Amino acid sequence: MTHTGPLAGVRVVDLTTMVMGPYCTQMMADLGADVLKIEPPGGDSTRYISVGPEPAMSGVFVNVNRGKRSVVLDLRTDEGKARLRAEIADGDVFVHSMRASAIDRLGFGYERVAAINPAIVYTNCYGYRRGGPDADLTAYDDTIQAECGLPYVQEQLTGTAGYVGTIMADKIAGMTALYATAMALFHRERTGEGQEVEVGMFETMAAFMLVEHANGALFDPPLGPAAYPRALAPNRRPYRTKDGYVSALVYNDKQWDAFVGAVDPPWADDRFATLALRAQRIDTVYELLGRTFLERTTQDWLDLLRSLEIPAAPVRSLDDLFTNEHLNDVGFFETVDSPYGPVRFPGPPVGFSRTPARISGPAPRLGEHA
């Protein structure tokens, strides 16, 4: 494997499974880190949850474990524990996704790991952070979506509580674990000090949801409920056109004036003259725009709106992403050769002028690097 990127030279001991932790360490591998994935004898469960080119190599596993090495260790045995201690001694980062009580029982809580390697950055990827009554509960994306209010806001929009169609909690928590670990490494570069990092899925998603939805509940006393009205407007959806759908946001006053000047809808009057006024009756705005968008084709609207510098996009399928002209022109996808055939990965979404991120190799077969 060839390691480039800003984390080149960083060694990561990865005891994570499923998606939150592996997504964090996958991004570290893309950014140049040498990631050693420690797997139990049966392997990470995600090896078996979707289609793949061979057994134990599902598409989900292959994507979030690309560029890593795999070693199988039975941490219930003295031999497995001794091997892990040796890897910790040479590591820069230790990441796990076990509950606090479970990792402590194995003998690899922070204090014991720091005794082996005081400079190590030790990242806990939990469902719930320690200190609260839920600290030792098992957590998955679905349950954390429920905890943070996502099904609730879906119910406000559709009338039925539902999950969003992506494992959002896992991925956002994984990105949070990445930046938290990187910040601890930055501190170590300046001071030489290792430290323990704690990332909870619930806390991460509560913070994420409350960015806009805290709203009036931020203040003491509250000035309103915790909800951002525009995001919960029932008519906030892609607009139906003559031949399909288009997503558009006629939002600020400059965009609104340009749209009204070009389209001249009969309902546009002083009730909607400013952003503040439109915000007060945002669902009505969406309803009236929806009627207007029925009058032209999707392409007609895209041509007009983009000429007016109003954000607009077609509604694409997931398969469309693989043939998207922009993504292909910027080199977003990377094809990597592997023992199980070529794999076309969605590559790192960031660019570095001096330390480019790249996919350093395919996902490993179980125990491939023992």
- In this prediction, residues 333-348 reach a mean pLDDT of 97
Residue 217 domain-assigned? no
Of 265, 290, 314, at which residue does a domain stop?
314
Q: Percent of the chain at pLDDT above 90? A: 99
Distance of alpha carbon 267 from alpha carbon 289, whole angstroms: 9
User: Contact, 308 vs 321, CB < 8 A?
Assistant: no
Q: What are residue 336's DSSP bridge partners?
A: 343
Nearest to 75 by CA among 140, 11, 17, 136: 17
Specify the number of domains making up the chain.
Answer: 2
> How high does pLDDT run on average in the chain?
97
Structure tokens, 130: 């320690």
Distance of alpha carbon 30 from alpha carbon 354, whole angstroms: 15
What's the confidence (pLDDT) of residue 1?
64
**Three-state SS for 14?**
strand
Residue 213 domain-assigned? no
Residue 281 domain-assigned? yes
The total number of residues written for the chain in this structure: 370
Dihedrals phi, psi of 124, to nearest 5 degrees:
-90, 125
**Residue 261, domain extent:** 239-314
Those residues whose C-beta lies under 8 Å from the C-beta of residue 301, and which sit 6 or more positions away, are 239, 241, 246, 248, 293, 312
Structure tokens, 179: 């930046």
Nearest to 82 by CA among 59, 107, 101: 107
263-299 pLDDT per residue, tens: 999 999 999 999 999 999 999 999 999 999 999 999 9
Q: Decide the pairing of beta strands 195-200 and 121-126.
A: parallel
- Same domain, residue pair 333 and 298: no
- In this prediction, residues 337-357 reach a mean pLDDT of 96
- Same domain, residue pair 307 and 334: no
- Same domain, residue pair 166 and 302: no
What's the confidence (pLDDT) of residue 330?
96
Nearest to 268 by CA among 237, 302, 245, 291: 291
- Same domain, residue pair 177 and 307: no
Those residues whose C-beta lies under 8 Å from the C-beta of residue 41, and which sit 6 or more positions away, are 72, 74
- pLDDT beyond 90 at 142: yes
Burial 191-202 (b: 16+ CB within 10 A, else e): eeebbbbbbbbb
- Same domain, residue pair 277 and 339: no
- Same domain, residue pair 44 and 123: yes
Strand arrangement, sheet containing 195-200 = 68-72, 34-39, 11-15, 93-96, 121-126, 195-200
- Same domain, residue pair 194 and 256: no
- Same domain, residue pair 287 and 147: no
Residue 54 domain-assigned? yes
- In this prediction, residues 53-60 reach a mean pLDDT of 98
CATH classification at residue 290: 3.30.1540.10
Distance of alpha carbon 58 from alpha carbon 45, whole angstroms: 10
- Same domain, residue pair 309 and 335: no
Residue 324 domain-assigned? no
- Same domain, residue pair 167 and 302: no
**Three-state SS for 107?**
coil
Residue 187 domain-assigned? yes
Residue 99 domain-assigned? yes
Q: What is the pTM of this model?
A: 0.95
Residue 2 domain-assigned? no
109-126 pLDDT per residue, tens: 999 999 999 999 999 999
- Same domain, residue pair 51 and 95: yes
CATH classification at residue 340: 3.40.50.10540
Distance of alpha carbon 107 from alpha carbon 109, whole angstroms: 6
Angle between helix axes 201-213 and 168-191 (nearest 10 degrees) is 100
- Same domain, residue pair 118 and 147: yes
